[in-house]
C-alpha cells in the first residue's frame, strides 16, 4: 500500500510569489492534515480536511489556504510568500476519527529567498 | 484546549542502557496519545499510540509507553537503547475530533 505522497519535495521561491503543494493520502484515507515544521517553532498545525470539508484550522494568516478534492487528494497554497515561510511542510492522512493514527508524508521543503 | 509538553530538549544515553523520553499532556475529554520519530530530512514515523485499555502500550522497534492518567503523562521507554535510535521524538495528543497537537520534540542521542 502506497504511503502519503507529497509533491514537490523541494522548491525555491522568491518573496511575494505564491506556491501550491500537493498531497496524495493513503488509499482509503479521508482525512488530510497539514503541518509546518521549522527549527524554531516545531510542528505547527495548519488545517485538517475530511471529505472535502475543513474540519480544523490552525492559527495561521489567511495567506495560507487549502482544499481537498473528492478523491481525498489535498493541496495547500501560500500566497505572497515571506522569508519566514521557509519550512518543511508535512502532510498526513488518516481514516478520519480522533483515535486513528495519522501517517505522514516525507514533506515538501520550501525555501523563500 | 489541548497541549503537549516535552520537558527535555535533549536526552543522552549510552548504548545498551534504558531510555526514557518524557511527555505530559493537557486535554478536555479522553486523550488519544501518540509517539512519532523523525530521522534527518524525513517525515514523521508512527511508533505507538494509546486509545483505551491497558496503560502499557507496545510499539515499533521495541519501544513502549505508559499512560498515567493521574500524572497526565505518556513517557516513551525502551529497555536497551541502540545507536540507531538516535533521532527526534515527538509526543502528540488528540481528543474530541480536535486537531492533533505535537510537543516541541526531544532529540535522543545514543552513544556507543
What would the grid cell of residue A72 be? 481525498
The pLDDT value given to residue B109: 98
The pLDDT tens digits of the residues spanning B33-50 come to 999 999 988 889 999 999
Distance to chain A for B48, nearest Cα, Å: 9
- Contacting residues of A for B103, CB less than 8 Å apart: 42
Distance to chain A for B17, nearest Cα, Å: 28
What would the grid cell of residue B19 be? 531510555
Distance to chain B for A105, nearest Cα, Å: 6
Three-class DSSP labels, chain A = CCCCEEECCEEEECCCCCEEEEEECCCCCCEEEEEEEECCCEEEEEEEEECCEEEEECCCCCCEEEEECCCCCEEEEECCCCHHHCEEEEEEEECCCCCCCCEECCCEEEEEC
Whether residue A81 lies within 8 A of chain B, CB to CB, comes out as no
Q: How far is CA A88 from the centre of its chain?
A: 9
Helices (H), B1-112: none
The pLDDT value given to residue B81: 98
Residue B43 to residue A55, Cβ atoms within 8 A: no
Closest to B89 (Cα-Cα) out of B48, B32, B57: B48
The pLDDT value given to residue B63: 97
Residue A98 to residue B44, Cβ atoms within 8 A: no
The pLDDT value given to residue A110: 97
The pLDDT tens digits of the residues spanning B5-35 come to 999 999 999 999 999 999 999 988 889 999 9
What would the mean pLDDT of B79-91 be, rounded to a whole number? Answer: 97
Res. A1: pLDDT tops 70: no
The pLDDT tens digits of the residues spanning A27-83 come to 999 999 999 999 877 899 999 999 999 999 999 999 999 999 999 999 999 999 999
Amino acid at each position: 500500500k502506497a504511503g502519503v505522497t507529497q509533491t514537490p519535495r523541494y522548491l525555491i521561491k522568491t518573496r511575494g510569489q505564491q506556491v501550491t503543494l500537493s498531497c496524495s493520502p493513503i488509499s482509503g484515507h479521508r482525512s488530510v492534515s497539514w503541518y509546518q515544521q521549522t527549527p524554531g517553532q516545531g510542528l505547527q498545525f495548519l488545517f485538517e480536511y475530511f471529505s472535502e470539508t475543513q474540519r480544523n484550522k490552525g492559527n495561521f494568516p489567511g495567506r495560507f489556504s487549502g482544499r481537498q478534492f473528492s478523491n481525498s487528494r489535498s493541496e495547500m497554497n501560500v500566497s505572497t510568500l515571506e522569508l519566514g515561510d521557509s519550512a518543511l511542510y508535512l502532510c498526513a492522512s488518516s481514516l478520519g476519527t480522533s483515535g486513528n493514527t495519522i501517517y505522514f508524508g516525507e514533506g515538501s521543503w520550501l525555501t523563500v529567498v | 484546549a489541548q497541549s503537549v509538553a516535552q520537558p527535555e530538549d535533549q536526552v543522552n544515553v549510552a548504548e545498551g542502557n534504558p531510555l526514557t523520553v518524557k511527555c505530559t499532556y493537557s486535554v478536555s475529554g479522553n486523550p488519544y496519545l501518540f509517539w512519532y520519530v523523525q530521522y534527518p530530512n524525513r517525515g514523521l514515523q508512527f511508533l505507538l499510540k494509546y486509545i483505551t485499555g491497558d496503560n502499557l502500550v507496545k510499539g515499533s522497534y521495541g519501544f513502549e509507553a505508559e499512560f498515567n492518567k493521574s500524572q497526565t503523562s505518556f513517557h516513551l521507554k525502551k529497555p536497551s537503547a541502540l545507536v540507531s535510535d538516535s533521532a527526534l521524538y515527538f509526543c502528540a495528543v488528540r481528543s474530541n475530533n480536535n486537531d492533533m497537537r505535537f510537543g516541541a520534540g526531544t532529540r535522543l542521542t545514543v552513544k556507543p
